[in-house]
Structure 1
Amino acid sequence: MPPSRTSAAAQSANFSTISVTFLGTASAQPSSTRNHSSLALCFGGRGDTWLFDCGEATQQRVQKSDVKMGKIRKIFITHTHGDHIFGIAPLLAGCLNGAGGMIDGMVDSRMEPADPKELTTLEIYGPLGTRAFIRSALRLTHTRLDGRYVVHELRFPRDPPGGDYTTLPPHRCELPGKNLLQTPMDDVQWGKGIWNDVYADDLVTVSAAPIEHSVACVGYVVNEQPVPQKMDPSHYLPHIKRNKAPIAYLSRLQRGENITLDDGTELLGVPKRAGRKLVILGDTYDPSPIMPLAVGADLLIHEATNAYLPGIDPATNNDDTEEVVQARTTSRGHSTPQMAGRFARLIGARQLVLNHFSARYRGDDDVNEEAKTVMDAIKGLAEKEFCGEVVCARDFMTLHVSR
């Protein structure tokens, strides 16, 4: 059972657009052209925005982008390295009208409205330590909020049962979250569990799986629910008119319902086609545990921290080779463009977006020729392994995920 399930009956029948805006594409250290890791997933029609990771200064990147702070409803953390989580406390304060000056034992009327339903609740998902980090950051900075937040932790089998890594009491605005345990995989080939449907509603589901890094790390798979195909009313209208049935039956048929008319004619609802699938990985040198969930991705976002670029990257060592760079990158828990391309090919992805670049790879390749040469070379390395579309992410880039 997912921790929450929201009815979408009052919302649009499907998302008109799904887009990804990259707020930070740097690895480890920010630079003048790349910020720490974060991206925003925006759903057209419903208007929700979800963040994946929240590195330092993410709040400022949101303010400089077209992403709306007030639309952020969920934050998914891949792992608790600082470059992926340091920005979450100020981001929460920005989303929930935070301020300093909370005094323990005193009730602030701004935080206790007559109707608690008026408060925004922001949901956060992440591995063990996410809850403790946020609680500590908010309480020790005496931050008060005008809304509520809840942290659901994706627990690994090796995690201590029930442990939160903190003895601090919950923040006044923190609601009780769930500790989500893995579902074992039936296929012994993988030997690892997954977190199935950690969130689900009528329009979208989110599942997760562990991916290999230097610390506990998670990759997320966002699946749009099956979408009705376009209806041909002329196929149904003669039968509806002959039976003097309500014209409103067309709406039910469009939703996929089957209808039996008075004369016994059965009208089959419009069949649905698969929705869009997005795979968003954290840092990894081996994402294979997520493969069963990721097959057939429309969009794969995969890190490509380091690359072997002789004659292009001046930081290339004389004794470097492609194998040496891959071994060094892997030893630090990261991937090369070729590794990303191979995984994209394995899961049959339609589009690969390379992300999480070393600070030495400038992110202004749209205006800087030297940076463009480097990023084109990185893209070319991935294209040697993957024949689909490859894009190198840069800060403030927005991609639309087509059907």
Structure 2
Amino acid sequence: MSRKSGIGSMDLVFLGTASAQPSSTRNHSSLAVRLAGDVWLFDCGEATQHQLQKSVLRMGKIKKIFITHTHGDHIFGLVPLISTLANGAGGAVGDPLEIYGPLGTRAYVRASLTYTHSILARQYVVHELRFPDDPPDGDNFSLPIHASEIPGRNIPQVDGVWRNIFRDDAVAVCAGPILHSVPCVGYVITEAPIPGKMDPKKYIPDIKRTKAPMTWMSRLQQGESIELPDGTVLHGPPRRPGRKVVILGDTYDPSLISDIATSPDVLVHEATNAHLPGVDPSTKPDDTSESVETRAKTRGHSTPQLAGAFATLIGARKLILNHFSARYPGDDEGNEEAGRIMKAIARLAKEHYDGEIICARDLMTVEIKPSTTD
């Protein structure tokens, strides 16, 4: 990643968009964020490795994995992927693989590797985001540390969130609790401020007049101020806010993360269930929008309307709906019925949100471009 001018290209690759169980057109949950050359995974459901092999991603570029919660459809693919990354997928050397997740993530990985007698050629580390009711230190089981494991941090909440669980000069990751049937988190990726728009014609006459090096133009592009040989001070354009992406796990109410999730370029929000009479043939005759919402919430999930309302609440520029029931097919590009269902789901979200809405499908790539406003 560039350390002076942001992270360069940034896009999302949806590896799995199903909820609970996979279908012939949707795999279990996993989402990749590609940051220039690096790949970060968010959740790692069963068969994520197969999806990676079908995708535009290079498996050996995976540097970090973020787990939203420890339900099987979000984590059952984690240990097999770790084993592959540590033994032949370009990951046998280099920095340890970093994993973040709630309490239980470390125990799951350690136990799985231990009882499968897995030998890794690369080290890994699991950092756990601890809720107030969790033990502040130690693990919740007695197995000794795995031979390839580096002790990770137990990160406490501060003012109800986990700020800067990772940060470098280019990007920061924060996390916040969201309400589901089990402890669950959402992640917020924020790019550092990036160079503003620059008009070289504004600076070239002064630089040429004083015979200052033209290479100073690159410093101005970064927003620096430079002093020319005659004492003239030139100020580069002010930096613009970097891109911001909010990726939620399963939730029926994500409002607890609102303060750190405001004004994102993209919000990825689940929309597990929808009331689609006349569109979805499996709609029950006695269902209503209210009954479907109530049922979704009791299971810890959301409807498109709930997702749209939250997108409006935090001022998201774009909403990507994800984590669909297995009854909603995901091959909408070549399937007329699937496309009709996805359009109907998007219309439901549109009732509460005026921005751009995308219904995710497996192996879809969404580019996130920097804002064009200063």
Q: Tell me, yes or no, whether TM beats 0.5.
A: yes
- Maintained 8 Å contact 1:96/1:120: no
- Superposition RMSD in Å: 1.8
Tell me by how many angstroms 1:98 deviates: 6.8
Is the Cα contact below 8 Å between 2:187 and 2:248 reproduced in 1? Answer: yes
Partner of 2:161: helix, strand, or coil?
strand
Letter in 1 for 2:113: L
Instruction: For 1:24, give the aligned amino acid.
Output: G
* Residue aligning to 2:368: 401
Q: 1:33–1:364: 8 Å Cα contact kept in structure 2?
A: yes
Amino acid at match of 1:200: R
Q: State the alpha-carbon separation in 2 of the partners of residues 375 and 170 from structure 1.
A: 46
Structure 2: unaligned runs, 5 residues or longer: none
Normalization by structure 2: what TM-score?
0.95
Aligned equivalents of 1:166, 1:80: Cα separation in 2: 16
How far did residue 213 of structure 1 move? 0.5
- C-alpha distance in 2, partners of 1:225/1:392? 28
TM alignment of 1:316-335, pairs within 5 A? 316-335=283-302
* Residues 126-141 of structure 1: pairs in structure 2 closer than 5 A: 126-141=101-116
Aligned counterpart, 1:176: 151
What corresponds to 2:279 in structure 1? 312
1:79 aligns with 2:69: yes
How far apart are the structure 1 equivalents of 2:100 and 2:18?
A: 22
1:301 offset after TM fit, Å?
0.3
Q: Match of 1:39, as an amino acid?
A: L
Counterparts of 1:318 and 1:241 in 2: how far apart (Å)? 77
Aligned length: 369
Equivalences for residues 194-343 of structure 1 within 5 A? 194-343=161-310
Identity rate, percent: 60
SS in 1 for 2:132: coil
Deviations 1:60-81 (A, max 9, x none): 1101111110000000000001
Matched residue type, 1:30: P
Written as runs of structure 1 = structure 2, the 5 A alignment for 1:84-103 is: 84-97=74-87
Residue equivalent to 2:136: 161
Displacement after TM superposition at 1:264 (Å): 2.8
Q: Which residue number in structure 2 is paired with residue 14 of structure 1?
A: 6
**TM-score, normalising length: structure 1:** 0.88
Large movers: runs of 4+ above 4 Å: none
- Whether the 8 Å CA contact 2:274–2:345 is kept in 1: the answer is yes
- 1:241-291 Cα distance to aligned partner (Å, 9 max, x none): 333333322122222211223433221122110111100000000011111
**Could you tell me which residue of structure 2 aligns to residue 34 of structure 1?**
26
Q: Quick check: 2:6–2:242 contact (8 Å CA) kept in 1?
A: no
The unaligned stretches of length 5 or more in structure 1 are 1-7, 100-110, 185-192
Match of 2:350 in 1: 383
Match 2:55 to one of 57, 65, 80: 65
Q: What is the CA-CA distance between 1:298 and the residue it aligns to?
A: 0.7
**1:24 corresponds to 2:46:** no
- In the aligned structure 2, how far is the partner of 1:248 from the partner of 1:313? 61
Letter in 1 for 2:15: L
Q: Is the 8 A contact 2:4 2:169 kept in 1?
A: no
Choose which of 315, 322, 329 in structure 2 pairs with 1:348. Answer: 315
CA distance in 2, matches of 1:151, 1:281: 20
Is the CA contact (8 Å cut-off) linking 2:267 and 2:316 kept in structure 1? yes
- Measure the CA separation in 1 of the matches of 2:337 and 2:209: 70
Q: CA deviation at 1:96?
A: 1.2
Deviation, structure 1 residue 161: 2.3
Offset at 1:12? 7.1
Q: Tell me which amino acid in the other structure corresponds to 1:67.
A: L
**CA distance in structure 2 between the partners assigned to 1:138 and 1:59 by the alignment:** 17
- For residue 35 of structure 2, what is the amino acid of its counterpart? F
Q: Distance in 2 between matches of 1:246 and 1:146?
A: 49
Q: Return the alpha-carbon distance in structure 2 between the equivalents of residues 247 and 371 of structure 1.
A: 56
**Are positions 1:358 and 2:325 aligned together?**
yes
Instruction: Classify the secondary structure of the residue corresponding to 1:231.
Output: coil
Aligned equivalents of 2:110 and 2:175: distance in 1?
Answer: 24
Q: Give how far 1:352 is off.
A: 0.5
